Amino acid sequence: MLSKRADILRVEIMADLPLHVLVLAGGNSTRIRTGGPKALLDLCGVPMIEHIFRTCEDLPAKSRTLVLGPTHRSKIEAWLEKSEHDEWNVVEQTVARGTGDAVLCALESMPATGRVLILCGDTPLLRSSTLQLLVEQGNVMLTAEVDDPFGLGRILRAENGELLAIAEQADATDEQLEICEINSGVFVLDIEALRAALAVSDDNNAQGEVYLTTPAVKVLQESNGATVTLPVEESEQITGVNDLHEMVYVNRVLRERILEDHLDSGVIIDDPASTFIEVDVEIAPGTRIMPFCVLRSGVTIGADCVVGPFAHLRVGTELDDRAQIGNFVETKNAHLGEGAKSKHLTYLGDVEVGAKSNIGCGTITANYDGKNKHRTVIGENAFIGSGSILVAPVNVGDNATVGAGAVVTANHDVPAGETVVGIPAKKLSK
Q: Strands, E, within 37-168: which ranges?
A: 42-43, 46-47, 61-68, 88-92, 115-120, 140-145, 154-157, 163-167
Cβ proximity of 323 and 337 under 8 Å: yes
- List all residues 6 or more positions away from 116 whose beta carbon is below 8 Å from its beta carbon: 19, 20, 21, 22, 103, 107, 110, 187, 188, 189, 191, 194
Q: How far apart are CA 354 and CA 67, in angstroms?
A: 49
- List all residues 6 or more positions away from 256 whose beta carbon is below 8 Å from its beta carbon: 272
Active site residues: 344
Q: Tell me, what DSSP letter sits at residue 414? A: B
Sign of CA dihedral 83, 89, 94, 96: negative
- List all residues 6 or more positions away from 164 whose beta carbon is below 8 Å from its beta carbon: 156, 157, 158, 217
Q: For residue 378, what are the β-bridge partners?
A: 353, 396
- Give start and end residues of each alpha helix (H) in 136-223: 191-199, 213-221
Q: For residue 368, what are the β-bridge partners?
A: 373
- List all residues 6 or more positions away from 224 whose beta carbon is below 8 Å from its beta carbon: 6, 7, 10
User: What single letter denotes the amino acid at residue 326?
Assistant: G
